[in-house]
Amino acid sequence: MAWTWFHRLGSPPYVYALCARLTPWLAWPAALLIAGGLYAGLVLAPPDYQQGEGFRIIYVHAPSAWMSLMVYTVMALAAATGLVWRIKVAHAVAAACAPIGASFTFAALVTGSLWGAPMWGTFWEWDPRLTSELVLLLLYLGYLGLRSAIDDPQRADRASAVLAVVGVVNVPIIHYSVVWWNSLHQAASVMRIGKPAMPPAMLLPLLAVLAGFTLLFAALLLVRVRGEILERERGARWVAQELAQS
């Protein structure tokens, strides 16, 4: 049964139709969670006793930073699957992840800089967490640039997949950078062993936005995977039939 399901996920027509069916079920809950979480965090949550109202940027910054790592991990796993089993759909998933992950990483860096200006007195510091997050953005951009620089799709898949798999070593570096090195960046206050440091009125909206961002990524990924499949299979008969029916 598991092998049959895995085989189906390697079929472009099956995955294309599956993405179309699942996208609305992910997009609407994502919108509701993000809207509700942002309202609760930006309007209803009390100000922080040290940072005041400035702490509220966490409701965009922290979920964006978490998603930047999650998306890269998904991209690397898809790329590795494509390399090992030579599944075209896996390479399509990896290619679809890259621009989404780059967007989340850019949002994390920008919002972090906006927070750092009043809190640290500077928009940028060569802090281990900030530097490794910048490296992550460069890895995303390098992946996109490498794909666009190679005309042959199969060669582009293989070369970019190797870069994605090698670059995944940066994910644990980002996560543990505040533990391994002396860092200006605060230590984990939510994803840590024991009780989170944030009170429920601040924590629950943050978790809602994080869940919404996760579903948003999934919905955007499905949309982009459909586009990747159409681009790769544009000469196939099933694509012509699908477009004729739509």
226: phi then psi, degrees, rounded to nearest 5: -60, -40
Q: What is the pLDDT of residues 209-228, one digit of tens each?
A: 999 999 999 999 999 999 99
Domain that holds residue 162: 19-187+197-245
The verdict on residue 123 lying in a domain is yes
The verdict on residue 5 lying in a domain is no
C-alpha R_g of the chain: 20
- Mean pLDDT computed over 5-18: 86
Q: Return the minimum-mean-pLDDT range out of 3-7, 31-35, 87-91, 114-118.
A: 3-7
The verdict on residue 100 lying in a domain is yes
pLDDT bracket for residue 192 (50, 70, 90): low
The verdict on residue 176 lying in a domain is yes
- The CATH number of residue 120's host domain is 1.20.120
Q: What is the pLDDT of residues 50-79, one digit of tens each?
A: 888 989 999 999 999 999 999 999 999 999
Total structural domains within the chain = 1
Report how far residue 205's alpha carbon sits from residue 59's, in angstroms, rounded to the nearest whole number.
8
pLDDT of residue 231: 94
Q: What is the pLDDT of residues 157-187, one digit of tens each?
A: 999 999 999 999 999 999 888 777 666 666 6
The residue among 27, 26, 9 whose CA lies nearest residue 18 is: 9
The verdict on residue 27 lying in a domain is yes
pLDDT of residue 239: 86
Is residue 32 scored above 90 in pLDDT? yes
The residue among 60, 23, 43 whose CA lies nearest residue 208 is: 60
Helix/strand/coil for 52: strand
pLDDT of residue 198: 82
Determine the residue type at 38: L
Report how far residue 164's alpha carbon sits from residue 219's, in angstroms, rounded to the nearest whole number.
22
Report how far residue 202's alpha carbon sits from residue 48's, in angstroms, rounded to the nearest whole number.
9
pTM: 0.94
CB distance 70 to 108 below 8 Å: no
Q: What is the pLDDT of residues 96-109, one digit of tens each?
A: 999 999 999 999 99
The verdict on residue 7 lying in a domain is no
Concatenating the DSSP letter of every residue in 4-23 gives: HHHHHTT-HHHHHHHHHHHH
The verdict on residue 236 lying in a domain is yes
The verdict on residue 39 lying in a domain is yes
Q: What is the DSSP letter of 48?
A: B
The mean pLDDT value of the chain amounts to 91
